[in-house]
């Protein structure tokens, strides 16, 4: 199998683009897709400092790697969720990656901050683990970015993540979520940090290939709490569709973004005020995170 660009020996076949590429041309392809996502969606520019949310998995580490190679100013943020061995290994991978490249890294360990990991917090508050985890992640991404002066938070969501989330939202006609499902979420005039997903044009297997090619050492295990998650079922269904008809995920998600309502990608303006407890912007009196933590037994 030869590279369609330069005739060297190819390392990856990409059915959805009907092409095969060698390592060098594949790296250029990945960088170009990320660059295109950033530019076309007006995510950020080289003057802004980007806080990159790093879990230790392939997507977030690959994103950090690409952003550095594209010349962006970045720092990493790792939330140590306190999920035993999974969190220990994840944190180690992130710290090793940052140290080996001399990158700035902020680590926020839940157990040190709150005395409990995310699973215990979910149990104490009778919330599903992933729901409590989502509330906590969104809160910390925003709070830490705002406190430290980062206008943008980038996450490693890829095409498979976005297409499967879209499928879930369509199957249940979650109109409110559909409106917000964009690779860029506005900063509401500086009230929030802007949230961006620069990997949304790249498939999960392409990011896995990029990570291996570039010797990025990531945690392969999934979070133990993800077992049985609906998203995995949707991903599996989309993978089967993709195999039968290459390009399905791309057409599904990028086609959705081209629709007029999704292109504007904005929910109705929300009336935000400082949370009575922590001061972070919230539409209610007390933000979701503080409401969650108020239910944790002291
Ligand atoms: Fe959090 Fe794990 Fe659930 Fe992901 S799968 S939301 S990391 S608890
Ligand atoms: Zn609050």
pLDDT in tens, 257-297: 998 765 444 555 678 889 999 999 998 999 999 999 999 96
73 vs 4, 47, 141, 147, 235, CA distance in Å? 33, 8, 17, 17, 32
Q: Which of 12, 149, 153 is nearest to 78 (CA)?
A: 153
Ligand 1 atom nearest to CA at 229: 5
Do the annotations mark residue 6 as ligand-binding? yes
pLDDT tens-place string over residues 125-171: 999 999 999 999 999 999 999 999 999 999 999 999 999 999 999 99
The residues, any chain, with a CB within 8 Å of residue 72's CB and separated by 6 or more, are 44, 46, 50
223 annotated ligand-binding residue: no
Instruction: Ligand 1 pocket test: pick from 78, 129, 132 the residue with the most ligand atoms within 8 Å of its Cβ.
Output: 129
Ligand 1 touching residue 121 (CB < 6 A): no
Distance CA 88, CA 135 (A): 21
pTM of structure: 0.95
Average pLDDT over residues 11-26: 97
| Ramachandran region, residue 165 (left: φ > 0; alpha: ψ -120 to 50; beta: rest) | alpha
133 is in an annotated binding site: no
Q: Which atom of ligand 1 is nearest to the CA of 130?
A: 3
The answer to whether the CB of 39 is under 6 A from ligand 1 is no
49-73 average pLDDT score: 98
Mean pLDDT of all residues in 94-106: 98
- Comparing CA positions, the residue from 135, 270, 266 lying closest to residue 191 is 270
130 lines ligand 1 (CB under 6 A): yes
Is pLDDT at 234 greater than 70 in this prediction? yes
How far apart are the CA of 236 and the centre of ligand 2, in A?
37
Residue with tokens 């944790």: 296
Closest CA relative to residue 140, chosen from 207, 193, 211: 193
268 CA distance to ligand 2 centroid (A)? 22
Mean pLDDT of 203-221: 98
CATH 3.40.50.620 fits 24-268, yes or no: yes
* Nearest-ligand number for the alpha carbon of 230: 1
Q: Which long-range contacts (CB under 8 A, 24 or more apart) does 126-135 make?
A: 126/295, 127/292, 129/225, 130/225, 130/226, 130/229, 132/292, 133/81, 133/225, 135/288, 135/289, 135/292
Instruction: Classify each residue of 42-80 as buried b or exposed e, where b means 16 or more C-beta atoms within 10 Å of its C-beta.
Output: ebbeeeebbbbbbbbbbbbbbbbbbbeeeebebbbbbbb
pLDDT value of residue 298: 67
What spacing in Å lies between the alpha carbon of 223 and ligand 1's midpoint? 6
Distance CA 119, CA 129 (A): 6
Mutating to test ligand 1, I would choose from 130, 164, 231 the residue with most ligand atoms within 8 A of its C-beta, which is 130
The per-residue pLDDT for 268 is 59
224, pLDDT greater than 90? yes
């Amino acid at each position: 199998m030869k590279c369609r660009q330069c005739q060297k020996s190819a390392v990856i076949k990409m059915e959805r683009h009907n092409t095969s590429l060698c390592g060098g041309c594949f790296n250029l392809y990945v960088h170009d897709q990320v660059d295109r996502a950033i530019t076309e969606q007006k995510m950020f520019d080289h003057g802004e400092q980007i806080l990159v949310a790093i879990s230790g998995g392939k997507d977030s580490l690959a994103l950090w790697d690409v952003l550095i190679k594209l010349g962006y100013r970045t720092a990493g943020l790792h939330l140590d969720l306190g999920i035993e061995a999974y969190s220990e290994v994840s944190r180690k991978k992130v710290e090793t990656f940052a140290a080996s490249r001399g990158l700035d890294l902020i680590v926020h360990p839940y157990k040190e901050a709150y005395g409990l990991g995310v699973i215990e917090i979910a149990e104490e508050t009778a919330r599903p683990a992933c729901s409590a985890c989502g509330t906590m992640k969104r809160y910390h991404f925003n709070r830490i970015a705002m406190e430290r002066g980062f206008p943008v938070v980038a996450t490693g969501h890829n095409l498979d993540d976005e297409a499967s989330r879209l499928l879930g939202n369509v199957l249940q006609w979650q109109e409110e979520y559909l409106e917000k499902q964009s690779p860029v979420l506005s900063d509401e005039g500086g009230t929030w940090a802007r949230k961006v997903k620069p990997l949304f044009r790249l498939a999960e297997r392409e990011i896995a290939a990029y990570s291996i090619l570039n010797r990025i050492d990531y945690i392969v295990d999934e979070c133990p709490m993800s077992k049985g998650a609906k998203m995995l079922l949707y991903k599996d269904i989309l993978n089967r569709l993709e195999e039968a008809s290459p390009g399905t995920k791309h057409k599904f998600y990028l086609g959705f973004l081209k629709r007029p309502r999704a292109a504007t990608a904005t929910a109705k303006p929300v009336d935000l005020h400082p949370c009575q407890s922590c001061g972070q912007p919230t539409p209610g009196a007390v933000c979701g995170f503080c409401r969650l933590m108020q239910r944790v037994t002291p």
